[in-house]
Structure 1
Amino acid sequence: MDLVEIQSLHRVSVAEVTSPTFQLAPPRVLNPDYIPAHILDAMRPGWFTGAFPAGRVRVTKLFDVYVTQEGLVFTQDKKLVQESITQHTPEECAQGLAQIVQAEQTQSVQHVTPSSLLLRKRGEQNYGHWMVELLPKLWLAEEHLPLCSLVVPQAGGNFARVLRDSVALSTGFVPLYHPMSPQDVSFFKELVLVDGLSNHGVYMSPLAFSRTDAMVASVPGAQVRKLYLTRKNRARRIRDEDSLMDFLQEQGFLCLDPADLTLLEQIKIFKNAECVVGVMGAAMTNIMFCRKGTRVINLAPGTMPDTFFYFIAGLRGLDYYEIRGKICEESESWDVPFEIERDHLAHVLSLGPQGQAN
């Protein structure tokens, strides 16, 4: 597999934007002993870097390239563009090349003429990845060049509605859409790439939230002040969650699963929240719509190597905690039931604004 960096290709450098410096303190974590050493090592660059230097975000137009898998970009001579790799495994990269070769042989390559912006990455069907790592690329790109088509994940159901609503709510742009599944192969005469906004798990640019406040301001807020987000009946759920939910409801929490809510409904509910408790997962992305200072308590198995919500909370000025729980079975996966002790949650709920006991 031949790799090529974007700078060595025939291209137009549209813009180079400086991402601001920022500083994040390590997260406040209850039960850090539940985190295995290798998982902690994976999160260390995100959690413990502290001072993040200025970054560089580039908008680049490429010519005559293929797109396949979850946003992998190949040149006409089948070299993989390094900057399009986002947590793809070597096997997925090799599969992408094989799909292009097969599509050429079967004449199933779709040719796209309009200038198109790539809004795809590994894990593209995840609500959080779309809202924080893909949609903001559109915000940046449209400030520097006229756009026609958006290359987006093939989506259905509520996620498809969220995808289009988020574009309509945050831009004045009415695009053509070019949806793609990981198995599709398309050839683009002009493809715009934005890189440098995020490096999943390691870095997130403040520019990822450049229009978030404007989105929130355009939606009236609900009167809900305390929210609990469940993952009931799905992987990575809390054992005996009903008991925990009973406790939270006694404390005045509204318990809900945002999965079937529209984007506007999600913004409305989170806009005025003062405390959000939830199981670590895509629904917790909605903390990006909360006001500065909102307390966020993220519940997660100790084996889950995730810094995504820590970055969101830090860059949005939220009062962020994690409570790590013990998994209920021997497993290498973090998508298994886990335990959260009610007393631990009650303790964090009782803390003052600076983490001091009331």
Structure 2
Amino acid sequence: MLGQQPGNYAAFFEAAGDRWKFSNRPDLKPTARLNRGVLVGTRYSFNYFHFVTDLLPRLLIADEQHPGDTSPLLVPPVAPQLIELLRLFAPNRTIMLMAPDDLVHVDDLVVPSSAAFSPDHFERAKEAVFDAPYLRALRPRLSSLYAPPRGETGKIVFIRRTDVDLGNGLRHRNIVNQEEVALHLQRLGAIVVQPETMTMAAQIALFRQADVVVGMAGAGLTNAVFCRPGTALVLLCQDRIVNPEYFAFMADALELHYAIVACEPVLGSSGHPAHLSIKVTLDDLDRAMSWAKALHGP
């Protein structure tokens, strides 16, 4: 098995017509050997959303097919929070981080697959498929570790976007009036968070307590998988290429409510039309917040 990094496969494969083949190479020396292991990696393993909604369900499938198996997990380089999440998710397994050029010999390699499909283009987002039963099964597997203490539910959580400066004045997929939005929501009692600065344990605990989660369509909303059924999601996205399908499908699978606030895009903020920044109109946001509040009573 090869370290999962784009571009590192060419040295091991050779052309065979219009295909590639992996020939017997006695000269290749594995950097490690395992009797058995579980491959934990997809094309999008580095992405938090795809890691949670596609990769973790595969681990559930592996556990279902091989009860009691504690074989090591073979994992490509990912963010520390994702390693923490794996340790919480599979505490009885060893995690073997693979460097890009690692070559691991595994006698019995388990490669779980699921029915999930994430198109690599925003115009095909409606074709997205989640493995809904396994997506729902993620919540009790993790959230039960951090059940909200009595009286500590009912939180409003606003997910602050990190400013991504692409140079030349481009700042894509951001909320240009984010400070105004954050202050407005704080007056309504919201907690403002940047999930990437938190431990996974803290993220799970916080979103488990939320009644309402507000955020721009992006990786931060992945934490909705930890929310209790009935939690309201307020999705902020641009009004020209409204692309909330992934999160709408996820909300349906997890029995969450959701509303979409279609916002004015900031033209020229990104070279990609799906990644334009947005400006949120507070009146539109207030209507969505009133809807969310009505779901949970006074």
Q: Which residue of 2 aligns with 1:350?
A: 290
- Retained in 2: the 8 A contact 1:221–1:267? no
Q: Which residue of 2 aligns with 1:337?
A: 277
Q: Is 2:53 the counterpart of 1:141? A: no
Q: Which residue of 1 aligns with 2:206?
A: 269
* Aligned pairs, number: 263
Q: Which residue of 1 aligns with 2:168?
A: none
SS of 1:351's partner is: helix
Matches within 5 A, 1:63-82: 66-69=1-4
Q: Which residue of 1 aligns with 2:254?
A: 316
Query: Of 11, 36, 59, which residue of structure 2 is paired with 1:115?
Result: 36
Question: How has the CA–CA distance of structure 1 residues 137 and 98 changed in structure 2, closer, same or farther, with 3 Å as cutoff?
Answer: same
Higher strand share: 1
AA matched with 1:309: F
Shift of 1:332: 1.9
Query: Of 192, 203, 212, which residue of structure 2 is paired with 1:255?
Result: 192
| Structure 1 vs Structure 2 CA RMSD | 2.9
Distance 2:214 2:264 in 1: 18
SS of 2:161's partner is: coil
Question: How has the CA–CA distance of structure 1 residues 327 and 318 changed in structure 2, closer, same or farther, with 3 Å as cutoff?
Answer: same
- Retained in 2: the 8 A contact 1:197–1:207? no
Shift of 1:109: 4.5
Distance 1:253 1:181 in 2: 41
Q: Is 2:156 the counterpart of 1:226? A: yes
Q: Which residue of 1 aligns with 2:74?
A: 151
- Retained in 1: the 8 A contact 2:71–2:94? yes
Distance 1:246 1:238 in 2: 13
AA matched with 2:52: M
SS of 2:163's partner is: coil
SS of 1:198's partner is: coil
Q: Is 2:97 the counterpart of 1:179? A: yes
Q: Is 2:86 the counterpart of 1:163? A: yes
Distance 1:211 1:305 in 2: 24
AA matched with 2:263: G
Distance 2:285 2:228 in 1: 22
Normalising by the residue count of structure 1, what TM-score does the alignment of the two structures yield?
Answer: 0.65
Normalising by the residue count of structure 2, what TM-score does the alignment of the two structures yield?
Answer: 0.77
AA matched with 1:248: L
Shift of 1:105: 9.4
SS of 2:10's partner is: helix
Q: Which residue of 2 aligns with 1:213?
A: 140
Q: Is 2:253 the counterpart of 1:326? A: no
Query: Of 48, 51, 59, which residue of structure 2 is paired with 1:127?
Result: 48
Q: Which residue of 2 aligns with 1:204?
A: 130
Shift of 1:317: 0.7
SS of 2:65's partner is: coil
Query: Of 222, 239, 242, which residue of structure 1 is paired with 2:179?
Result: 242
- Retained in 2: the 8 A contact 1:130–1:163? no
Structure with larger RCO (C-alpha < 8 A, sep 6+): 1
Q: Deviations over 1:52-84 (max 9, x none)?
A: xxxxxxxxxxxxxx34435xxxxxxxxxxxxxx
Q: Which residue of 2 aligns with 1:194?
A: 112
Question: How has the CA–CA distance of structure 1 residues 182 and 343 changed in structure 2, closer, same or farther, with 3 Å as cutoff?
Answer: farther
SS of 1:132's partner is: helix
Shift of 1:339: 1.6
Distance 1:303 1:69 in 2: 32
Shift of 1:177: 2.1
Shift of 1:120: 0.4
Distance 2:96 2:220 in 1: 26
SS of 1:112's partner is: strand
Distance 2:179 2:138 in 1: 37
Shift of 1:155: 2.9
SS of 2:146's partner is: coil
AA matched with 1:151: L
SS of 2:35's partner is: coil
**Percent identical:** 22
Shift of 1:277: 0.2
Question: How has the CA–CA distance of structure 1 residues 349 and 69 changed in structure 2, closer, same or farther, with 3 Å as cutoff?
Answer: same
In structure 2, runs of 5+ residues without a counterpart are: 15-21, 119-124, 165-171
